[in-house]
Amino acid sequence: MYSNAYIFRYASILVILVAAILSAAAMLLKPMQDRNVAVDKMQSILVAAGFEGVDAKNAIELFNKYVTNMKVIDPSGEIVDDYTTDNKENSTAFKLNLKEQLYNKASGRDYKLPMYVVNKNGESIYIIPLYGVGLWGPVWGNIALKGDFNTVVGVTFGHKAETPGLGAEIETPIFEDQFPGKTIFDGAGNFVSIGVIKGGVANQPNDRQKHLVDAISGGTITSNGVNDMIKNVLESYEPFFKKQG
């Protein structure tokens, strides 16, 4: 029979040993994981702009080729930083942590916003990263706008832990393909964002339909999260949009 002291000793040693192994592994693999996350971000930006055939292997090359500028914008809508040279992943705009910046904004502190400019067939497309909350964890994405800062070219979404088959459907083409062609300002020039709604876009008045997409059945909280994310992030860029208009 084992004594209680033995059980405690055994458990403590086991746990400390396991903790050491896991922390060592996490530290060793961190640089590679960060690299993958950065490449994934580039891929997502390019896909939002409508590029096809982007994979993990060519993402860095294509990113440096087609992204022409990485801007940083301040709350009043002024551009405070431009980055047009190579190695775009070193730019301030790329490294800017949107989660922190949105938190700064919410708590009334100074904040900065990133914007990526992509050249596609001679046309400049402006990509804005998104960050918000879903049901189980964060949701994020990119929204690409035309030069009028109104019409959506494309979107990509991602999530940490939404329910597979329900909320996780936000990252499928079925959901994302609803966005191209929608507009974020109404006819009078007021910011209306893009709403993710239940009950069918087709049942809405005609002039509202171009600002709305269908939510995901069974994924209401995730859909609401996406709705709030788009509104909250794009709202922050409104002064910038107005200055360009």
Partner 1 sequence: MSAVKKEKEPLFSAKNRKLLTNPLNIENPITVQVLGICSALAVTAKLKPAFVMALSVIVVATFANVIISILRNGIPPRIRIIVQLVVIASLVILVDQVLKAFVYDVSKQLSVFVGLIITNCIIMGRLEAFAMGNKVWPSLLDGFGNGLGYGAILIIVGFVRELFGSGTVWGYHVIPQPVYELGYMNNGFMILPPMALIIVGVIIWIQRAKNPQLIEQK
Chain contacts with partner 1 (rule: CB under 8 A): 2, 6-7, 10-11, 14-15, 18, 21-22, 25-26, 29, 32-33, 36-37, 39-40, 56, 161, 164-165, 168
Strands 123-133 and 212-214 turn out to be unpaired
Which CB sits closer to partner 1, 43 or 193? 43
Measured from the CB of residue 41, what is the shortest distance to partner 1 in angstroms?
11
Which CB sits closer to partner 1, 32 or 202? 32
Which CB sits closer to partner 1, 8 or 103? 8
Contact 109, 151 (CB under 8 A): no
Measured from the CB of residue 7, what is the shortest distance to partner 1 in angstroms?
5
Exposure class string for 204-218: b at 16+ Cβ within 10 A, else e: eeeeeebbbbbbbee
Measured from the CB of residue 10, what is the shortest distance to partner 1 in angstroms?
6
Measured from the CB of residue 173, what is the shortest distance to partner 1 in angstroms?
13
Which CB sits closer to partner 1, 38 or 192? 38
Which CB sits closer to partner 1, 80 or 161? 161
Measured from the CB of residue 29, what is the shortest distance to partner 1 in angstroms?
4
